[in-house]
């Protein structure tokens, strides 16, 4: 079932986004209801839920100035800013950034342990773009199973529909199809000369390696065929309990590099008196009662890292 013309997979469809620059990306996020503010050195600050503004792209490693952070706090009213910087003596590595920049990406350059999984996945599945209605109809199992495997709450069909049954002009959806079933799908965001990806997969099909097929397909298309500069595969989890070791092994087997970074969390000046080890211990205690609550897990990780070190 391997695709005979990989480039044809990415031809535009009715709801397909195609290529966009950073300004267009911000505009499309705003269309989808996100709060977006321009940052320094070709970056954006985008709200993550109600409580945080995250800087994008993740590989912008410069330290934002005090004036920039003050402006983002004032304009967003968010209690927390999150961004990534290079490790330094005062800002030790506390996370990993996963990326691939190999413009000769191929099976021969993949670690041996990953090649057979890629070949199997490519032979088992059709790889193609999905429109939103097709994703909503077929993708719930992949979404719910992934959240359960990564020990996150919210993995219900209702949450899936709430997240994906809305027009998102900043995204493409690439699926691994077997018969009339969706085994796995990737979210692909294409900006300037880089893309970011994130994936979901159903437990039933994991042994057939749909994730491997999807990721190999998309990385080769963008880095080799279209000569993009970088594929971003996100950051390691800040949650105290996660399956991060398994995810890191998988990403490295797919040819991604793990770059040590400092993931900084800066609290609004109004709230800094309340950010201390006591507040962290209180949240950690509550988390024991609801160990899979997503906001509590994120709050525990952010407080833990903020109390250890954050850029002031």
CATH number assigned to the domain comprising residue 185: 3.40.630.30
Question: Is residue 193 a part of any domain in this protein?
Answer: yes
Position 198 in a domain: yes
Asked whether residue 271 is domain-assigned, the answer is no
Report yes or no on 237 lying in a domain: yes
Lowest mean pLDDT among 21-25, 235-239, 278-282: 278-282
Number of domains in the chain: 1
**CA 106 to CA 97: how far, in whole Å?**
21
186: β partners: 174, 199
Confidence band of 2 (pLDDT split at 50, 70, 90): very low
- The whole-number pLDDT of residue 150 equals 82
The answer to whether residue 197 sits within a structural domain is yes
Are 211 and 77 in contact by the 8 Å Cβ rule? The answer is no
Res 280 pLDDT > 90: no
Cα radius of gyration rounded to whole Å, the chain:
20
Structural domain harbouring 127: 6-16+97-259
Residues in Cβ contact with 119 at an 8 Å cutoff, skipping those fewer than 6 apart: 107
Q: For residue 246, what pLDDT band results from cuts at 50, 70 and 90?
A: confident
Spacing of C-alpha 166 from chain mean position: 19
Is residue 281 in a domain? no
pLDDT at 1: 42
pLDDT above 70: residue 152: yes
What's the whole-number mean pLDDT along residues 97-106? Answer: 97
Question: Does residue 71 lie in a domain region?
Answer: no
Q: What count of Cα atoms within 13 Å lies in the side-chain half-sphere of residue 39?
A: 32
Taking residues 157-179, what's their average pLDDT? 94
Give the position of tokens 């999150």.
Answer: 82
Give the pLDDT score at 121.
97
| Residue 69: inside a domain | no
Percent of the chain with pLDDT over 90: 65
pTM value > 0.95: no
The yes-or-no verdict on residue 157 having pLDDT over 90 is: yes
């Amino acid at each position: 079932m391997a695709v005979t013309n990989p480039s044809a997979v990415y031809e535009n469809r009715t709801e397909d986004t195609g290529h966009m620059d950073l300004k267009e990306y911000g505009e499309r996020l705003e269309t989808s209801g996100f709060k977006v503010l321009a940052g320094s050195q070709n970056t954006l600050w985008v709200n993550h839920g109600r409580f945080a503004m995250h800087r994008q792209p993740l590989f912008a490693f410069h330290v934002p100035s005090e004036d920039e952070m003050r402006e983002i706090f004032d304009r967003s009213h968010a209690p927390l800013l999150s961004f990534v910087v290079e490790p330094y003596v005062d800002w030790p590595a506390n996370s990993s950034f996963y990326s691939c920049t190999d413009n000769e990406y191929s099976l021969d350059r993949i670690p041996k342990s990953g090649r057979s999984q890629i070949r199997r996945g490519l032979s088992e599945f059709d790889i193609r773009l999905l429109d939103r209605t097709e994703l909503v109809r077929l993708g719930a199992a992949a979404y719910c199973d992934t959240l359960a495997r990564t020990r996150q709450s919210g993995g219900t069909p209702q949450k899936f529909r709430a997240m994906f049954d809305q027009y998102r002009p900043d995204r493409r959806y690439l699926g691994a199809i077997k018969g009339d079933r969706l085994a796995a799908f990737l979210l692909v965001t294409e900006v300037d000369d880089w893309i970011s990806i994130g994936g979901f997969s159903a437990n039933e099909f994991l042994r057939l390696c749909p994730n491997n097929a999807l990721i190999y397909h998309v990385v080769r298309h963008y880095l080799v065929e279209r000569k993009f500069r970088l594929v971003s595969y996100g950051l390691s989890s800040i949650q105290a309990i996660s399956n991060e070791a398994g995810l890191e092994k998988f990403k490295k087997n797919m040819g991604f590099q793990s770059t040590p970074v400092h993931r900084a969390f800066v609290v609004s000046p109004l709230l800094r008196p309340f950010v201390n080890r006591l507040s962290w211990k209180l949240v950690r205690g509550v988390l024991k009662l609801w160990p899979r609550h997503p906001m509590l897990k994120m709050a525990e990780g952010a407080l833990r890292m903020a109390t250890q070190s954050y850029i002031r």
